[in-house]
Amino acid sequence: MLPLAMPFYIESFNIEVLSMGHSWGTSSAGLQRYAMKVRTAIGWRVYTLLLAALALARPLVEVEDTPRPTLITNVRILTSSGEVEGPYDVLLRDGRIAEVREVSDGADTGMERVVNGTGATLMPGLVDTHVHVGSFTAIPGRLHLPHVPENLAAWLYAGVTTVLDLGMPRSQLERIQRRIDAGRLDGPDVFGTGKPFGAPGGHPKSALRAAFKGPLVRIATAHMAWEVETDDEVDRAFAKQGTTGFAKVLIDQIPNDVPILSDGALARIRTDASASGARVVTHVGRPEDVERALAMPTDALAHTVYTGRLTEAQITRLAEEHIPVIPTLVVWESTAGVATAHPLLDPMEREILPRRSIRDLEANFSGRAPMQGALARWAEQVVTGKQQRWDNVRAMVEAGVPILVGSDSPNLGLTAGASLHREMDNLAEAGMSPAEVLVAATWENSRFIDPDAEFGAIEPGWEADLLLVDGDPTRDLRAVHDLRAVWVDGREVTRRGR
């Protein structure tokens, strides 16, 4: 990165620091002091102009300030068991689904907004159970500061109305939630696990430092995980984090041979999680990681393994104990794509991504941004493991393992929003019926986040997080990629695109 460009990056970073919490989980005091120096050096007029330019950038979506009373007429609805029923008239009021009733014959309803749902299906908004709100569509060697509002807009654009973040520090996530709730930031409903538990010097610090060099990266990655070894360290981390309902645990080595959590640390995490009522969600990458996760035992798996075959015993145990798996096939396909200079860049990425990210992906396509060194050696396993991981997911689907839909986006070559649509297609290819994929991405995903949540289904009184799609998505999953309208908490989302 050019030194000249540094102040601008620092500044956009600082806007996030000041306004909603920055993204990389480090103490930002040093960066803020640097930004203040820059502000003094360039003068406040230039500084203000810069802010104005950033603020005037055309937004990807626009969301109504307040929910309007809305009537969606003559529309079929997707139920939480995957049937398409109706048609009905559906009323939205005060951000909630007020009523699902017989189709009326055109009597004046007095509703502010009437949407003709003829030929369309109304379904719950999509839920992504593995995201990183403060990450970005990364290409090795091309560092940008994460832009939280861009990610949030991307999810809404793609019809994703709820996300579960698997790593952002709790205080930052709560600041973002408050801004969304107050209407100062457009975004989906955001939930999170808090910072993950990892080995000192292990993933994710090791992976990010292998992908990007420089002092900024060293600062930004210093405190991304609770790096624990002893019981005391685990206890202190739980006390500092407080209860989020989840404990995210990292068992993997990226790149190869970096430190990994000890058995002792895993045992203590399990004990503390149980004591605080938290469910353990474990990031796994290889069959031996699954073995360690099951021994803990874990409550869910984040990812299917990227290489190697799961044993029949492992699959049987996942099925019999109803341990949900969030395969995120898309992140491994994306990683393999970047490693082989074939990143995922189709119309949906082009609609969603800012120009700088498209330029990065195109650079990767033309071989100008190759994966290098230790990271390339690690990614080689992801490239060669393709058949194995798809076979694993097919076997899990067949065995009845509960499958959830998550994308791990944005990430290496991976775009927020677009990637969840790819993952739904992946799961259909792995043997789930379109109806099963849709139920997993809405009802099952929402139950995983909170068994008592009032979203994820079309129920009177529940949150009006809704998508209107052309045709019947249970017959043809492509319909879910063709969004006619999106509502988040009853507020209509206008999808502008780039």
* Residues of the shown chain interacting with Zn ion in the complex, contacts defined by CB under 5 A: 166, 408
Distance CA 40, CA 30 (A): 16
> Please, which residue, 328 or 381, has the CB nearer to Zn ion?
328
Minimal distance, residue 411 CB to Zn ion, in Å: 7
Distance CA 198, CA 190 (A): 23
Minimal distance, residue 204 CB to Zn ion, in Å: 8
Q: Count other Cβ atoms within 10 Å, centred on residue 85.
A: 12
Rounded to the nearest 10 degrees, the angle between the axes of helix 6-19 and helix 44-56 is 70
Burial of 254 (0-12, 13-18, 19+ CB in 10 A): buried
* Cα radius of gyration (the chain): 22
Name, in order, each residue with C-beta under 8 angstroms of 343's C-beta and a sequence gap of 6 or more: 139, 334, 337, 361, 364, 365, 413
> Please, which residue, 414 or 440, has the CB nearer to Zn ion?
414
Name, in order, each residue with C-beta under 8 angstroms of 116's C-beta and a sequence gap of 6 or more: 73, 74
Minimal distance, residue 167 CB to Zn ion, in Å: 6
Distance CA 67, CA 421 (A): 26
Minimal distance, residue 343 CB to Zn ion, in Å: 18
> Please, which residue, 64 or 165, has the CB nearer to Zn ion?
165
Minimal distance, residue 137 CB to Zn ion, in Å: 14
Q: Count other Cβ atoms within 10 Å, centred on residue 288.
A: 13
> Please, which residue, 133 or 273, has the CB nearer to Zn ion?
133
Comparing every residue's Cβ against Zn ion, the nearest one is: 408
Distance CA 144, CA 173 (A): 20
Minimal distance, residue 92 CB to Zn ion, in Å: 33
> Please, which residue, 84 or 166, has the CB nearer to Zn ion?
166
Minimal distance, residue 409 CB to Zn ion, in Å: 9
Half-sphere exposure of 396 (CA within 13 A, CB side): 31
Task: Find tokens 């500092």 and name the residue.
Answer: 240
> Please, which residue, 360 or 408, has the CB nearer to Zn ion?
408
Minimal distance, residue 207 CB to Zn ion, in Å: 10
Minimal distance, residue 225 CB to Zn ion, in Å: 11
> Please, which residue, 24 or 88, has the CB nearer to Zn ion?
24
**Residue type at 285 in one-letter notation:** G
> Please, which residue, 133 or 395, has the CB nearer to Zn ion?
133
> What would the two tokens of residue 167 be?
């790593």
Closest CA to 485 of 34, 28, 75: 75
> Please, which residue, 121 or 445, has the CB nearer to Zn ion?
445
CA angle 383, 389, 394 (to 5 degrees): 145
Minimal distance, residue 110 CB to Zn ion, in Å: 47
Distance CA 87, CA 98 (A): 16
Where residue 92 falls (left for φ over 0; alpha for ψ -120 to 50; beta otherwise) is: beta
Helix (H, G, I), strand (E, B) or coil at 104: coil
> Please, which residue, 408 or 489, has the CB nearer to Zn ion?
408
The answer to whether 128 and 190 have CB atoms below 8 angstroms apart is no
DSSP state of 477: G
Minimal distance, residue 29 CB to Zn ion, in Å: 27
> Please, which residue, 166 or 416, has the CB nearer to Zn ion?
166
Name, in order, each residue with C-beta under 8 angstroms of 368's C-beta and a sequence gap of 6 or more: none
